[in-house]
Amino acid sequence: MEEQRPGLVATSSSFYPGFEQDPAALSLCSLQVLGEDASSMPFCPLLFPLTPTPAAPAASRSQRNCILRRRFRVETKAGMGSNGFFDSTNFFGAEEDGPNLSPFLRKLFKEWDDRKARGLFHHDITACETKVLPGEHNFVATLIEGRDQKKRPTEFGMNQVIQPFDGGKFNFTKVRPEEVIFRFQETDDASARYFDGASHTVSASPSAILINVSPIGYCHSLLIPRIQECLPQRVDQESFLLAMYVAREARNAFFRVGYNSLGAFATINHLHFQAYYLKVQYPVEKAPIEKLTVLRNGVSISQLVQYPVSGFVFEGGTGMEDLSQVVSNACIFLQENNTPFNVLISESGRRVFLLLQCYAEKQVLGKASQEFLDMRINPAVWELSGHLVLKRRKDYEEASEATLCRFLVEASLSGAEFQELKRLVLEFLASASPEE
């Protein structure tokens, strides 16, 4: 008999028909959703077409218009036509894509757009210029001028991956109530149900999803496991599995979940993951890989090749729990050895990238190039994955694959450093792999 796994529930009288029987539903926790009745929710896509269309007309943007008219410039070696702009709404209208979104994403989009309409964000990400650079990797560059000056400041040292939680500094229990989107509670079955009308508080919630008030992509959100426990930014197996389940619940390859350790450009020492929706394949997701080993539980471990950042790629296993356990074990090993890292949960939790870097250390030691210091790029998980946020128009207009490759190489471990770390990680994971 198949083992019953915990499920996901929430609060209101509106259910999504048939969703409880969906085998792809999130099998942990319950969502209490802050907002209006789910039955009338609109679809709010984001939106990154990679095929040319005519330029959009200069139309006014209503704050509550769910079809966001965001224009992107896509540059290729061959060029993309006279105007070089695409109107994403021509490709991702509500009528076409709405039914194909999971209930979780439809609800998340609706609630995030509601917070945008209320003016809770530091900038309008839908008005920020974004382009795909020509070259082998097709890096994505987004211009958000002054974002580093509006973000909450980093309040801890960058030289230790494990640091104790400090309640005197900013943490997510101090956010405004309206920044809370979802609250989670465990259930005893494998169902997933969504309700509305939950009170605007996180006081009684083990886990929560909040808006990121300084977004770099559409629906940029924060997942805070067991928020009231005030855990430091440190991976554990339970919280990582929760992040994997959220990625699977989205059921959309363009919604990724990321993690930054301390020392790898996490800016708040309160356990959290990030996620947002960008309809383009990240450069790291299409990078070639070289298989290293397959563990006893069937999880395959590979390494990135022909990519400027060193890292591992995990996939396979008999189930998501196996994959999650192996990756979280690797993260715990790195934490305990004071090695900064970033994680990208990709393809709805089917592939996980573990990326290694040392840029903060180079900054502290005065070994970072002044050229890149002036650009003020913080190489967190999204940047290492190939979506880079630039803060100056000059850098955005002059951005090239060659420049960004040089930056990512500088941020990453050297070849010799990665080889030694690879040996240690593989030895540890082989010893931690359960017997058949």
- Which residues are identified as catalytic? 272
Pairing mode, strands 85-87 and 130-132: unpaired
**DSSP notation for 8-39:** B---SS---TTGGG-TTS--S-EEEE-SS-GG
Radius of gyration of the chain (CA): 21
| 1 contact partners, CB below 8 Å, separation of at least 6 | none
Strand partners of residue 73: 85, 131
Nearest CA-CA partner of 30 in 238, 276, 221, 246:
246
Q: Are 122 and 150 in contact (CB under 8 A)?
A: yes
C-alpha dihedral sign at 8, 11, 16, 21: positive
Q: C-alpha angle with apex 133: 131 to 137, nearest 5 degrees?
A: 130
CA distances from 147 to 34, 79, 213, 232, 391 (A): 28, 30, 11, 25, 6
For tokens 């210029």, the residue is: 129
Q: Are 178 and 115 in contact (CB under 8 A)?
A: yes
**Residue 229 corresponds to which tokens in the numbers above?**
């426990």
According to DSSP, residue 352 is labeled: E
**Residue 289 corresponds to which tokens in the numbers above?**
């890989």
**Residue 107 corresponds to which tokens in the numbers above?**
């609800």
According to DSSP, residue 357 is labeled: B
